[in-house]
């Protein structure tokens, strides 16, 4: 089983130099798991790596902005990804597939845990997908996945860790 990880101390993600005063910033770790491991080749390694990095960045920035979960470790697993438009790899594999005209229901599923500064482990589970093509908003390949990342980050920052 192949696993991919992007681990970024919060201070580096938000562009600040690491300092002793920032030692309590949350650490965000994102890996690939679940059904997504089998889809990496289909979606393209480059796209999946970028989505892992993007989820890490979005969560870290929101936690830095809100000042939430100081000293915590956030361990997330990206278990499913669905693009709104074909990825580069999908377009290469299927030459007749239009990256401009093709549109799909997209989204992401994220699971994991938050380990608080006092050692408490809190489960995290979040997924968001468009329900119909009419709900697909925007024109980017990963628009719905981006919305999932933003909403998860907002939930984490406000302490809403409920399964959804």
Q: Are strands 73-82 and 107-115 parallel, antiparallel or unpaired?
A: antiparallel
Extents of the domains making up the chain: 5-11+25-158
Q: What confidence score (pLDDT) does residue 162 get?
A: 57
At residue 15, the pLDDT reads 44
**What stretch of H or E contains 47?**
helix 45-66
The token duo for 115 is 């380990």
**pLDDT value for 39:** 95
Distance (Å, whole) CA 136 – CA 123: 29
SS3 82: strand
Q: What is the pLDDT of residue 56?
A: 97
Which class is domain 5-11+25-158? alpha beta
Residue ranges of the chain with per-residue pLDDT less than 70: 1-23, 136-138, 162-164
Strands 107-115 and 5-9: unpaired
SS3 at position 103: coil
What pLDDT score was predicted for residue 3? 45
Two tokens at 62? 């929101």
């Amino acid at each position: 089983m192949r696993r991919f990880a992007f681990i970024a101390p919060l201070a580096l993600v938000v562009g600040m130099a690491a300092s002793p005063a920032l030692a309590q910033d949350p650490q965000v770790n994102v890996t690939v798991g679940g059904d997504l491991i089998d889809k990496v080749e289909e979606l393209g390694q480059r796209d999946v790596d970028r989505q892992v990095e993007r989820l890490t960045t979005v969560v870290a920035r929101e936690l830095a902005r809100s000042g939430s979960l100081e000293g915590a470790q956030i361990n997330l697993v990206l278990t499913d990804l669905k693009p709104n438009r074909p990825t580069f790899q999908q377009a290469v594999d299927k030459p007749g597939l239009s990256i401009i005209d093709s549109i799909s229901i997209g989204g992401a599923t994220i699971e994991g845990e938050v380990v608080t500064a006092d050692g408490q482990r809190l489960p995290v589970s979040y997924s968001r997908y468009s329900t119909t093509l009419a709900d697909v908003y925007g024109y980017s390949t990963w628009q719905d996945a981006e919305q999932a990342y933003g909403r998860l980050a907002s939930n984490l920052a406000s302490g809403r860790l409920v399964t959804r």
